A and B are shown apart, each in its own frame.
Chain A
Amino acid sequence: MTDRYTQFVDHGIGRDIAKRLGLPQPVALRRYQPGEPLAPGPVLIQGTGPGADALARELLGWNVDVRRHAEPKEKLGAVVLVLDDVAHPSELGRPVLAMGASLRDLAAGGRIVTISRTASSAESPAVAAARQGVEGMLRSLARELRAGATGNGLLLRDGVETTSPGVLAALRFFLSGRSAFVDGQFLTISTDDGGLPGNPDRPLDGRVAVVTGAARGIGAAIARVLRRDGAKLVLVDVPASGDHLAAMANEVHGTALQLDITSQDAGERIIRHAVERHGRLDIMVHNAGITRDKLLANMDGAKWDSVIAVNISAQLAINEVLLQSDHFRESPRIVSVASTSGIAGNRGQTNYSASKAGVMGMVRASAPQLQKIGGGINAVAPGFIETDMTARIPFATREMARRLNSLQQGGQPVDVAEAISFLASNAAAGINGEVLRVCGQNLVGA
């Protein structure tokens, strides 16, 4: 799973050498296995407000070993810092410093999760300053964590309770191994909508999902994770990838639909196939994407146009058909794959970055439309992920790209897939129009 350098420095002499030379010391990340404990140790909930108390009671019901006060020398699986009621930046010091005192006891693969409110919804400058201050603190703290531990935050809009389904589901996601490569990120929970799954290991039971670009790479990983989480699958890819697509469909017990998503009737054919074969369509995962890298000075029309057509125009067209369809009405969820290239930019990728930034624009603008039909749309922006595509990057460049994040390694396709599966679930109904980065807190585009 991990790259060779990570394996080398993970133990023994390799770890010694890396330590002495001050080289990066990536570790094998804690990744989700069904049935495993939520965190690698007790969960300390800090914060004194009623939001913290309510959350602590909720977590006790999950069979989690909850602590309200740190015990000296006890290893902690996670620290949840509830700051939903801060009103002035001067109030941050006490709880944040208290958390700081517990950091040395954080287990490998541990988690820091802050719960605060969105600064944009604050009325007073002092409240806004306090809320936004939490974001800055957490982003820096995430860079200080080691041994595969991560720090992320939940931003609640005013009115959203700390125990609303969206908050609990997102907290579960961040505490668990599902979020292994998500670091230094914030997720906004806008509403109290949604409900937690009866079985947290099968959150997509009874749901039918379509995944484009599913023949290999990240798409194949998405198919496997959605299947593991209980969904029935329609796997889409271009006819030229039909052999890999068929193998994936047979592996995850789905149906293969060989289809060019840029064809005019793609949306109708996807809906028809899902409804005829599986009786419904609940989740659309727009994963298919291509790269045609060139410096803009050398870019031709074909390279530009094909990337725009596949990566964003096709998504727009398919979504339009989905939104008009009577078959996409039962808490429908759309998740698009964007890219950190669309946030920070990437040399040689003007076309790709335009398309991926476009995906994020589309997601934000489509959110109200999805809201109207009781659904939601979000994007996941992967950073450096170990795939066949990134394996072709020249060694030195690849090594740089890999280490330039807080976890000092590339992510795995499954890390992207876990984020997508979470956002595709009904529990994430309160999350709409958001972009979640799966980048290990990349240095660029943070």
Chain B
Amino acid sequence: MPAAEQPESAANQVSGQSLAASVSERSLRKAVVVGGNRIPFARAGGAYAKSSNKDMLTAALDGLIARFGLQDERIGEVAAGAVLKHSRDFNLTREAVLGSALSPETPAYDLQQACATGMEAVLGLANKIKLGQIDSAIAGGVDTASDAPIAVSEGLREVLLDLNRARTVPERLRILARLRPKDLAPDAPTTGEPRTGLSMGEHQALTTAQWKITRGAQDELALDSHRNLAAAYDRGFFDDLMTPYRGLQRDANLRPDTSLEKLAALKPVFGKSLRAEATMTAGNSTPLTDGAATVLLASEEWAEARGLPKLATIVDGEAAAVDFVHGKDGLLMAPVFAVPRLLGRLGLTLDDIDFFEIHEAFAGTVLSTLAAWEDDKFGRTRLGLGGAFGKVDRSRLNVNGSSLAAGHPFAATGGRIVATLAKMLHDSGTVDGRPARGLVSVCAAGGQGVVAVLEAN
């Protein structure tokens, strides 16, 4: 397209609008979810084995741009991130924007909060919209377990850096002589926690055992996830949430024909050294996954001016962290604390929520979370409430499937959930005369969790 034809919005122009009130008195406005786009999630080593984070994030962005006609649009800000990231991808999101059909004048930044990266991107950008700093934003996340960075060993890295600083040949030879065969072994990333050395699965196994979650209950939750996700695909629910990529049209991990019998036949993989029965299998744990997701956020005015939908409002969000290092709480239990704090602030209880989107890192994570909220003692001693926090109506939980079926490309999961929930809320409209309300809860490595409340718009 010749430069003369560029729409005005593409230019780095100062917008004609000005805020009437003085800056310090600015009132908050709504941040709405316009829609989302993700690529189907692939199992690690599968369809996206040769795709980089940048490739996948760009593909997800381009699908979003095509769906909403954002070509050459200058978006207020794009924020995304990846948990497993090459050092060369220091500006991953900005590079993806430059490779997309958006205006190259769209600013972007990377962020990372482990599996809560996507949620934090949504909340941070929504806050900027609410404050009036930007009118539109794209939040996203991407991860590849296939194209993961592999680092050289500390020994080799030190030698290489010293070599770079050396000036004379004898000096260089002396440095090279320090190399030992073991220094040549590569250092691959793991899902182990740096402070405990335990993998995420082993950590969850401790929690699962602590809350006495049975194998049967975990397999049932996994089965529901597959069935719900398959049903959502069958009724075309994802037609405007997803764009195929590299020949994949559905999440590769989805097993529409799985059954309790098949799940029960799987051997436990985590918690085998514990005294309690090992209950966590490949079927009720999420696999390593590749994928990317994006969410388009905007002020109401921005969406209306472009004839774009306003699916849901980002009401509020909350982050929490737990002391898992000393064993006070389970690694993935931070949302157990974040949700009561958030709902308390909003004057809501679990009964006021119509859709629960609790990220299924492991079936045990979801069930331990529900168990803790239903526990009277936990409610009194740990949450400081008069009793149990409450009960989640299971018929409102992950009704279109979640990570056990879809897979979990760490940073992409928040975007997947927010876009899915926003569409569900919009489709149901009002409940009991008020906007349908949804809760998102995502646990993350490092003992963290980010949760949010959305309402139908």
Contacts and interface: CB of A to CB of B under 8 A. Distances in A.
B284 to A, nearest CB: 29
B56 to A, nearest CB: 12
Interface in A276-323: 276-279
A258 interface: yes
Contact of A259 (B239, B243, B244, B245): B239
B69 interface: yes
A245 interface: yes
The range of chain A's interface size is 20 to 34
Interface in A242-259: 242-243, 245-250, 253-256, 258-259
Interface string B63-92: 101111101100000000000000000000
Contacts, number: 67
B1 interface: yes
B93 to A, nearest CB: 18
A308 to B, nearest CB: 22
Contacts of B67: 246, 249, 255-256
B63 A246 contact: yes
Contact of A243 (B65, B240, B243): B243
A277 B236 contact: no
B32 interface: no
B73 to A, nearest CB: 10
Interface in B269-296: none
B66 A245 contact: yes
A2 interface: no
A97 interface: no
Contacts of A260: 236
A248 B243 CA distance: 13
The range of chain B's interface size is 20 to 34
Given A254-B69, A263-B236, A246 B307 contact: no
Interface string B153-176: 000000000000000000000000
Contacts of A241: 244
Interface in B208-254: 236, 238-240, 242-245, 249
B242 A253 contact: no
B244 A250 contact: no
A240 interface: yes
A239 interface: yes
A387 to B, nearest CB: 20
Contacts of A242: 63, 242-244, 249
B59 interface: yes
Contacts of B243: 242-243, 245-246, 256, 258
Contacts of A239: 236, 238-239, 242, 244, 249
Contacts of B236: 239, 260, 263
B133 to A, nearest CB: 26
Nearest 7 A/B pairs, CB to CB = A246-B66, A249-B66, A250-B101, A256-B66, A255-B69, A242-B243, A253-B71
Given A242-B243, A246-B65, A247-B66, 9 more contacts: A239-B239, A241-B244, A242-B244, A243-B243, A243-B244, A256-B63, A256-B66, A256-B67, A277-B306
5 contacts: A240-B249, A242-B242, A249-B67, A253-B1, A255-B67
Interface of A: 239-243, 245-250, 253-256, 258-260, 263, 276-279
